[in-house]
Each structure stands twice: as C-alpha cells, then as structure tokens.
Structure 1
C-alpha cells in the first residue's frame, strides 16, 4: 500500500538532480611532449567524456515518437493537410457539420501535441539539469588541479592567454542550418508583440459582428474554424522548432563535453592527479502547493497518460454514437472534451516552461560562477561573453505578458474558467450552442497561449545558444592556456 501511495504521489516532485562527469584516465604515451596541436590530440584521446542518460524502454519509445512529431516531414504533412482543408472549405465551408468535424480534428490533434510539447519540456529540463551537474562535477576536479598547478609553479612566470579571434572560435562551434534560421525568423514574426496584437484585433472584430449575425452557431463556428487552423499551425511549428533546438543543443553540448574532458585530461597530465570526479547534486526548486499540483498535472500529461485517457473517452464517444444518431451534438462532444483539456494544458505549458526554465538558468549561472573562479585562480581575465539583447518595446511587452501568464494563480484561473464553461454548457443542457461555448473560448485562449509560448521559446533559444557558446569558449581558452604557458614541472 505504501508503495502504491508513493507511486501516485511521486509525480510533481522536482527533486534534486545528481550528475558525475566521466573521469578521464591519463595515457602518458599519448599526451607527453605535446605539439602545437595538443588541443586536438587531447580531444581525440578524451573518450567517454559525455554523461550517459539512462532511460526505461517505454520512455525511449515515447521520446522517439515525440522526435518524429517534431520532424520536418510531419510539419510539411500537416501544412499540406491544412491547405487541402482550406481548398475544400471553399465548397463545404458553409455547412455546419463540415466546420464541426474540422473543429473536432483540430481539438484532438492539439490535445495530442499538448502531451508531446509537455514531454519535450520535461525531458529537456532533466537533460539540462544533468548536464549542469556533470559540468560542475568536472569543475570540482579541474579547480583542484589548477590550484595544485599554481602552487607548484608559483615561482614561475605564467603567461597570459593570447585570445583567439572571435570568428575562429565561432567557426569551431556548431552552426544553425538554413532551416533553423528560417524557423527562427518565422518564430520571431509569429511571436512578435505586433502579431499578438493583431490576433486580438481580429478577435474583437469577430465579436463586433456578433450582433449582426444574431450570435448564431454559424457565427461561433466561423471563429472556431479560423482559430482551429491557426492553432494547428502553431502547435506543429512549436513542436518543430523545439525539436530543431534540441538537436542543435545536443551537438553543442557534445563539443562542450569533449572540450571539457580534454581540459581535465591535460590537467591530469600536468599534475598527475588520479582522483575520480565526484558527483554533484543540484537541489530541486522550491515548490509551493499550487505549483506542486501544476507539476503533478504536467508529469501526468508528459508521460502521455493524458492520451491514454483520451483513447478511453474516444471509445466511449464512439459507443454512444448510435444512441445520438451521430448528430452535430455527438460530433461536438469529443471536441468539447479535448478543447477544455487543451485550454488547461495551454495554461500549464506556459507555467512549466517559465518556472523550469528559471531553475535551469540558475544551475547554469552556478557553472559560470565556477568557471570564472578558475580564471581568478590562475590570474587571467576570462574571455568576453556573447549576450542577447534584452531591449526594445516588443521584447519588454512579450516578457511582461509571458511573466504574467506564467503565474501559478493564472494557471489556477484557467481551471476555474474550464469549470465555469462546464457549468454554462450544463445549464444549456449540452445543446449545440452550449457545446460551442466550451469550444470557442478555449480555442481562442489556447491559441493565444501557444503564440506567446513561441515568443518565449524564441527568446529562451537565443539565450541558450549564447550560454552554450560562452561555456565552450571559457573551456577552449583554458585549454589553450594550459598548452601555451610555461610548464615548470610536467609529469
């Protein structure tokens, strides 16, 4: 019984993250009498330098599905479906059943991609936290060996680093391909404050026509179809840019780990140190009760339990179809369920992205602090860092809206809105109008949250690219320093 209680209560707990960098063993025959190409030699002989991420078989399969969902092939396929839908809408667009079916397709599609996006977020968080712990693990050993080296050579003159050209360092770092650059441009335009403003202008224009259209079901279906198409695009695009960023980050971190391991190997050669790298534990973020509940929900959705629940609902929905004569109300039921849940997921996604991202930033800030301490130890100025411009009206507006929408109280408000819509639909006896009440507002709200999530994602990606480049540059110059200084007693 205790095991069962522990299993169902464990989701939502963002505990400590432990990591240990693989210890580099000195091969004297390979690294003594290093030539001018010693950096390359060290890096070539730095085996098993990356941390190993162990996952259960089900998690591996789920991650593969998420990777495929974010691929360019799926993006092109979904865009093609949207174009076909738009052309067919010229002929069938005025039919109520046509718009209801399209609304159902959009709701189910976005419901599934909600789970994929949540899993991307949670897996990315675990990976970044583990990477930060491993970098700090090797920093402990490198700091110890640098201190020993300085003490042994305090009577010797230590040369300063002759900094390499910025372009030369940048040329060594992974490049963003043309598709990534195009996606970043589209993300910048899509998530721009002006775009968000235009979105709400269109919504208010639609509301303005409500009286002229008699507040009819057809009037509601018009905006539902428009936001459905936009939401499908936003979801698949967000999934795609996240997948591209994951691949790019992994290539950057692979180079960082290799350079970091080369730095450790070089220090062990100089000092003769054989002490294994020690594990580093990064404490989990402080979480209040409401936020813990949000994380719990996110963990359930991120393990795709939500999709399993949706499958059960779909089966029940199909079973009751004959009893409802497969009418418009029957078609709307599945859209109502997925629409309400999807709106809640939009609130949760925005919240989780912001709060887990803060903890990741704090962890990498600690890595930076330890890196700079090593430069202080050897009395050398660290290289200048790349920075992302955090100014401009659009940036400030986007950042403010993102911060506000990420608050746990706003996420709680989203749940209250869902409850209110359910009560309203029940009062209307779940008629077509009542169900549209549960489809249209959630569709409008969720689309807005996904658009501002693109803005935040774009900002976070730019910061993370600069952060990774700075981490690499600091290690690259330390390694250059070790191979250009006067060695007083190389063992």
Structure 2
C-alpha cells in the first residue's frame, strides 16, 4: 500500500458513512443442558452481545473525556462556577470585565461542548445501532426456530389468549428483568429537562430578548447594552450545554440497562428454543446500510467528524495557544479578551448547526431500525397467532412538539448550515469594516449567541421527545420478548424447579450488581 494511497484514505476518512455489521453471540446448547446452566450463561454480558469494534488509544481517551464531561461532578462544578461568578458580580457591581469574562468563558465552554456533544451523539447512535443489529440477529434465529414444524408437533396446548396478560404480569413481577428504576436526582433532572425544553421556556427566552431590544434606545444601543444580553445568553448557553451533556449521559446509561434486560430475556428465549431443537446454527450477521448522502451532507459529515475527533481538539488547542501568546502584546486588554470570544462564538455558531443537522439525521436512522425490529416481531406474532401485546407509539401533537419537529426538519436541511456560514461571513464583513473594535466584535457575538441559545432549548426538547420515544420502544420490545418467552416455555414444556428458580434469581441479581 503506497504512502499516497494511505494519505488519501486518511484525508477522506472523516465523515465517511459507516456500515454496521454485527451478529448476536450464538448460544450453543444441547438438549441435555440444565436450566441452571442457562441461568449462569445469561448472567454474563459476553454471552448477551458482542462489544463494539475497538478504537484507537486516542479515540478511547477522547471517549473517556466525553464521558467525564457529562458526569454529575462536572455538572455540579459548572453550577458552582456560575454561582461564584454571580456572587462576585454582586460584590463588584457587575463591571464590564466581569461580563466579558462570562461572555468569553461561556463562548469557549459552549465551543468545547459542541465538540463533546458531537462525539457523544455519534457514540450514542453507533452503540444503539450495534445493539439493534444484534437484536435483529437473534430475532432472525428465533423466527427460524419458531417456524420449525417440530416445535409445534406434539406440543402441549397453549392458551394463546392468556399469554399477553400473563407476560405483562411477569414483566411487572420479576425483578430480574424489570426495567431499571431511577434515583431521585435523575427524576429531578428529568423534570428540569422537561421544563427547560418546554414552550414556556421558549416564551420566557424570547420575552427576555424583546425586553432587551426595547431597552436599546434608552441605552443608545451602546456596547454595555450588547454586553448585557451577551452575558445573559452566555449563562444560558453554559447551563444548557452542560446540562444537555449530563442528561444525555444519564439517559444513555438508563437505555443501556434497559437493553441489557431485553437481551437477557432474548438470550433465554434463544437458549430454550435451541435446547428443544438441538439447533446450533450460528446467528446471522445483520447489516445496516447508511443512508445515501448528497455532496452537501457529505461535507457536513466531514466537518462534523473533524470537530468530534482529535483533529478538532488539536485545532482548538492551537487556537487557544496562539490567543494566550498574544495576551502580553495586547496588554491583556478587553479587546484581547473579546478575540477568543468572537472566534469561539462564530465557529461555535456553525458547529451548533452542524451538530443539530447530524443529530436529527441520526435520530431518523434509529427510528427506522426500531421500526424494522418491531415489524419483524409483528410478523412473528402473526405467524404464532398470538395477540401482539403492544401498540404503535402514539405521536404527540402539542405546540412545543410541532415546533421541535419543525425545527428538526429545518435544521436537518443542508441549506441551514449554509445559511449559518453566510451569516458568519456577513458578520465578519461588518466587523472588518469597523476595524474589529469592541463594538464590531460584540456585533459578531450577539446575534449568533441569541440564535444558538434558542436552538439549544429546541435541541433539549428534541432530546426529551426522542428519549421518551426510546423508553416506550424499549419497554415494548421487552414486553414482546417476555410474551415470546412465555409462549416458548409453554410449547417446549420448560419449567423450573425450586432450586433452579433460586439459582436463576441469584445469578441475575449478581449480574445486576456487577453492572
């Protein structure tokens, strides 16, 4: 392989659409396998799903940083910094330098958060797609085994009408396969998330903007007038961006626990059917192909991969190093402070549109794959002539939902990113004509920060809707799996004696504790 080819591949790699190819671990059993052996096997994660493909050391370090950025400790430190800054402002009488520090700090933090949010959502989407592919893989095996005539020959009569209610009651009663509970802090944050992403938050946000605009003539549209709104929006951006990282991490961890419960039920179903038939054919590899993309979308994905990778971190580090190096030359003045805020504000503005574009397109792909899984389950239930225990997810039609959906469609268009670039170029032209003085730099920051603050609220609402939808989808998958498991136990005559039941519960309880 030539150096030129490797260089070309490395240059073209960012943004390249990835093909997902995974198969669920095959549960090789014999007809003489005991139920105790089965319970020990499904208590181990290595038998439930195959891990993601290993990343480079740099990628693992970046993922670790991203994970820590969304931790509770990081979020609480952010709140503490905002509180200390507010107290200092009260003591000093809110001087201009105090506001500029918050504006620049908020711009820098939001700029960094865009990089971490991009990495976070890419990891989130990839992980869910790998798990869905393995659920489909095992589901294909279950469908093949269920269609085997020998399974139904000489099988005991099954009361199909009662399986639905029986399985749902089983889902409620068996702690080993229940969906996990959330602590009081998680519930509190969920409430705050719903409040921040509500229509009332949007009304309050734009009401504040209108009040600020109304004060413009009174303050002669001065630099101080611009500083006021920049400071207020910087606080909002700092809180919402860090809060979004935190709730995304917690919700992803919750979904992973739910998926682990689903896979245990799924694995038990596979083992029971294989034990009855003696079939040890490996689970098929499921391939999830990416959507075809236009050149504009390819360019967006290319840029998105750069800002969500080590390349983006390297570029940011170099920019900050240059900014710090010229501090002494500019006597650490207000203009020096504003330079980094202007840069991060303009670039972060474009990053924000790219982030939202990628997010909504990834959400569409996940919806499609969950639908494929649900359709496969539906076909299996129809073949068994068993009532489907779940209903399609109802679409909400509230005002904030419609606004969020509209903004999602709008932000998913490539022209939205193009418009953001044109806005940045126009603002740079205005600032250049003013010699990049304090007023010119504030003009660059003000509109971009206002729009980005609005879009962050909309993105939180979109995340809330997506998270609620995913929880319903996962609960429905679990209920369908338990229904099929109950049917398989009845057909195969698989029953647990008292010792097996105790050992089964102990093994799963141990697995839950370890996880």
State the TM-score, normalized to the length of structure 2: 0.89
1:217 is matched with 223
Counterpart of 1:468 in structure 2 is 474
Judging changes above 3 Å, is the alpha-carbon distance between structure 1 residues 40 and 372 closer, same or farther for their aligned structure 2 residues? farther
Counterpart of 2:194 in structure 1 is: 188
Q: CA deviation at 1:306?
A: 2.1
Q: Which residue pairs with 1:8 in the alignment?
A: 11
Query: 1:318-337: per-residue Cα shift (whole Å, max 9, x none)?
Result: 22222222211111111111
Match of residue 97 from structure 2: 97
Equivalent position of 1:164 in the other structure? 166
Gaps of 5+ in 2: 495-515
Describe how 1:48-127 pairs up with structure 2 within 5 A: 48-56=47-55, 57-127=57-127
Selected match of 2:403 from 397, 406, 409: 397
After TM superposition, give the deviation of residue 413 of structure 1 in Å. 0.8
For these two proteins, the number of residue pairs brought into alignment is 484
**What is the alpha-carbon distance in structure 2 between the residues aligned to residue 387 and residue 176 of structure 1?**
22
Over the residues paired in the alignment, what is the CA RMSD in angstroms?
A: 2.2
Q: CA 1:104/1:44 → structure 2, altered by over 3 Å: closer, same or farther?
A: closer
> What do residues 139-174 of structure 1 show as CA deviations (whole Å, max 9, x unaligned)?
221111111146752887444152336465246221
Q: CA deviation at 1:401?
A: 2.8
Supply the distance in 2 between the matched residues of 1:39 and 1:27 (Cα, whole angstroms): 11
Q: 1:482 matched to which residue of 2?
A: 488
Superposition deviation, residue 312 in structure 1: 0.5
Q: Which residue in the other structure is 1:248 paired with?
A: 254
CA distance, structure 2, for counterparts of residue 342 and residue 73 of structure 1: 24
**1:18 is paired with a residue of what secondary structure?**
strand
Q: Given that residues 115 and 304 in structure 1 are in contact (C-alpha distance below 8 angstroms), is that contact kept between their aligned partners in structure 2?
A: no
Q: Which residue matches 1:434?
A: 440
Q: How is 1:49-448 mapped onto 2 (pairs within 5 angstroms)? A: 49-56=48-55, 57-149=57-149, 153=153, 157-160=157-160, 161-162=162-163, 163-164=165-166, 166=168, 168-170=170-172, 172-385=178-391, 387=393, 390-448=396-454
In structure 1, distance between residues paired with 2:195 and 2:44: 45
Separation (CA, whole Å) in 1 of partners of 2:426 and 2:345: 14
Aligned partners of 1:17, 1:344: CA distance in 2, in Å?
A: 29
- Post-superposition shift, 1:43? 4.1
Tell me the equivalent position of 1:19.
Answer: 22
Distance 2:490 2:152 in 1: 17
| Contact 2:151–2:492 (CA under 8 A) maintained in structure 1 | no
The SS at the match of 1:457 is helix
Change (3 A) 1:60 1:169: same
SS at 1:438 equivalent: helix
CA distance in 2: counterparts of 1:213 and 1:304, whole angstroms: 44
How far did residue 472 of structure 1 move?
1.3
Alpha carbons 1:169, 1:473 under 8 Å: kept: yes
Q: Write the distance in 2 (CA, Å) between the matches of 1:44 and 1:342.
A: 45
Q: CA deviation at 1:300?
A: 0.9
Following the alignment from structure 2 to structure 1, what is the Cα–Cα distance between the partners of residues 93 and 350? 29
How much has 1:42 moved relative to structure 2? 7.6
Once residues 289 and 251 of structure 1 are traced to their aligned partners in structure 2, the CA distance between those partners, rounded to angstroms, is 38
Which of 431, 449, 456 is matched with 2:455 structurally? 449
SS, match of residue 325 in structure 1 = coil
Structure 1, unmatched stretches of 5+, are none
Aligned-partner SS, 2:48: coil
For 1:467 and 1:292, the matched residues in 2 are separated by 30
Three-state SS of the structure 1 residue aligned to 2:47 is: coil
Are the counterparts in 1 of residues 431 and 441 from structure 2 also a CA contact under 8 Å?
yes
Q: What's the CA shift string for 1:268-302, capped at 9, x where partnerless?
A: 11111111112111111121111111111111111
Tell me by how many angstroms 1:385 deviates.
Answer: 3.7
> Structure 1 residues 167 and 379 mapped into 2: Cα distance closer, same or farther (>3 Å)?
closer
- DSSP-derived class of the 2:14 partner: coil
* 1:97/1:328 contact within 8 Å kept: yes
Q: For 1:174-225, what per-residue CA distance to the aligned partner results, in whole angstroms no more than 9, with x for missing partners?
A: 1232222211111111111121122112112111211211111111001111
In the alignment, the residues of structure 2 paired with residue 431 and residue 456 of structure 1 have an alpha-carbon distance, to the nearest angstrom, of: 38
* More deviation, 310-319/299-308: 299-308
Q: Indicate how the Cα distance of structure 1 residues 166 and 274 shifts in structure 2: closer, same or farther if over 3 A, else same.
A: closer
